[in-house]
């Protein structure tokens, strides 16, 4: 019986090789933050390599990891690092810890309505707003109006990153309205003079990004390429690709390398995120990180 299955696997492998010789299929799934960038990468790469087909879908970092462990995707996009529990699930599914590649840097902006007079907030104030302690703009130097919190669905990596880094792991206020994407969130804030929300810096249309102070005495820093890359802007993160090491070869490997090459990183800038610093690129090089 075992032999029979082995033979079947061999035949299947041969067949897949025969198919992949004609066209390599790469599936990418995961973070909604990365989805625009991933699609752009795929587009440019496919036009240069007509023999490779890349399918990109979003859904959230959690969705990407779930698909990675169910082997429903080759590459998982994530806007946060993989958790121990997800690693455990992957080991149980395919016996290896997924390989991690940093692919870009993102500064998380905090958005308010264009008409809002508040210009900057400290991290402590943000925490108190989003956990529901501070409920009125007048406590923050704004008009006497209740604060409407806009958040993201809890499958989003942006949600988890913000929760961990700004709320220090505390729960979001129950009255936070959840939006299915940064674009929808910005649209809501654009229509709501009392709204506040957070999202990737690549979107930045229709609402104003606040300056952020690390603490009350430090200067307010706006999210710009310079401040994010020299790490003076306090809310930034890496964006990642994860791949099953067994699959990290041929077309998939070439594609992952290309993403971290000059050409791939040029697109990062075009889409509105920040390219990885040179030092990190050469260190990540073409060798996989631990």
Partner 1 sequence: MTDKSKRSIGWMGLQRGHQARPLEWLVEKGILLVSFSAIAMVFLIFIFVARESLPIFLGQMNSASVQKVIPVADMDKLTPAQLQDYLGLTPKQFADMDDDTKKTLMEVKVDAAAEASKDKDAAINTTSWRYLLKPYQWTGYDKPVYIWQPVSEIQKYNIISLVIGSLKTTLVALLFSIPLALGAAIYVSQLTSPRKREFLKPAIELLAGIPSVVLGFFALIVMATVLQNIFGYQSRLNAFVAGIALGLAIIPVVFSIAEDALTSVPRSYTQAALALGSSKWQAAWKIVLPAAIPGVFAAFILGFGRAIGETMIVLMASGNASIVSWNIFDSTRTMTATIAAELAETVFGGQHYRILFMLGVLLFVVTFVSNMVAELVINRLKHKLEGKR
Which residues, in sequence order, are bridge partners of residue 106?
Answer: 237
> Going by DSSP bridges, is the β-strand pair 120-122/211-213 parallel, antiparallel, or unpaired?
parallel
Q: Which is nearer to partner 1, 24 or 189 (CB)?
A: 189
- Shortest Å, Cβ 87 to partner 1: 5
Q: How far is the CB of 195 from partner 1 (least distance, A)?
A: 9
Pick 192 or 257: Cβ nearer partner 1: 192
Nearer Cβ to partner 1, position 53 or 170?
170
Longest distance between any two alpha carbons in the chain, whole Å: 75
CB of 112 to partner 1, least distance (A): 15
In the complex, what is the shortest distance from the CB of residue 149 to partner 1, in angstroms, rounded to a whole number?
Answer: 8
How many angstroms separate the CA atoms of 62 and 174, rounded? 21
Residue 254: how many other CB atoms lie within 10 Å: 15
Of residues 148 and 232, the one with the C-beta less far from partner 1: 148
Tell me whether residue 155 is exposed, middle or buried, using C-beta atoms within 10 angstroms of its C-beta: 0 to 12, 13 to 18, 19 or more.
Answer: middle
* Residues lying near partner 1 in the complex (CB under 8 A): 59-63, 66, 69-70, 83-89, 91-92, 95-97, 146, 148, 153-155, 159-160, 163, 169-172, 174-178, 180, 188, 191-192
Least separation, in Å, of the C-beta of 3 and partner 1? 16
* Residue 159 or 198 with smaller CB distance to partner 1: 159
Contact 112, 208 (CB under 8 A): yes
If the CB atoms of residues 131 and 265 are measured against partner 1, the closer one turns out to be 131
Q: How far is the CB of 82 from partner 1 (least distance, A)?
A: 10
Residue 71 exposure: Cα atoms within 13 Å on the Cβ side? 9
85 to 31, 66, 91, 115: CA distances (angstroms): 18, 11, 10, 43
């Amino acid at each position: 019986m075992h032999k029979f299955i082995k033979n079947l696997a061999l035949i299947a492998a041969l067949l897949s090789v025969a198919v992949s010789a004609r066209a390599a299929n790469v599936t990418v799934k995961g973070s909604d933050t990365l989805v625009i960038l991933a699609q752009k990468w795929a587009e440019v790469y496919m036009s240069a390599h007509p023999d490779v087909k890349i399918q990109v879908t979003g859904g959230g970092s959690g969705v990407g990891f779930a698909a990675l462990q169910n082997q429903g995707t080759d590459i998982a996009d994530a806007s946060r690092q993989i958790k121990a529990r997800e690693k455990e699930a992957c080991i149980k599914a395919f016996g290896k810890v997924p390989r991690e590649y940093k692919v870009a840097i993102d500064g998380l902006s905090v958005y308010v309505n264009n008409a809002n007079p508040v210009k900057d907030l400290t991290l402590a104030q943000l925490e108190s707003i989003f956990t529901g302690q501070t409920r009125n703009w007048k406590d923050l130097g704004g008009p006497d109006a209740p604060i409407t919190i806009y958040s993201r669905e809890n499958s989003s990596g942006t949600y988890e990153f913000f929760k961990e880094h700004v709320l220090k792991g505390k729960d979001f206020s129950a009255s936070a309205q959840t939006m299915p994407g940064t674009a929808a969130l910005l649209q809501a804030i654009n229509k709501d003079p009392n709204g506040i929300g957070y999202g990737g810096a690549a979107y930045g249309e229709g609402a104003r990004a606040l300056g952020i102070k690390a603490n009350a005495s430090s200067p307010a820093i706006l999210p710009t390429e310079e401040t994010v890359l020299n790490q003076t802007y306090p809310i930034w993160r890496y964006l990642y690709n994860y791949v099953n090491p067994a699959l990290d070869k041929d077309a998939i490997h070439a594609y992952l390398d290309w993403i971290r090459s000059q050409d791939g990183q040029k697109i990062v800038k075009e889409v509105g995120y920040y390219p990885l610093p040179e030092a990190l690129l050469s260190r990540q090089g073409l060798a996989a990180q631990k």
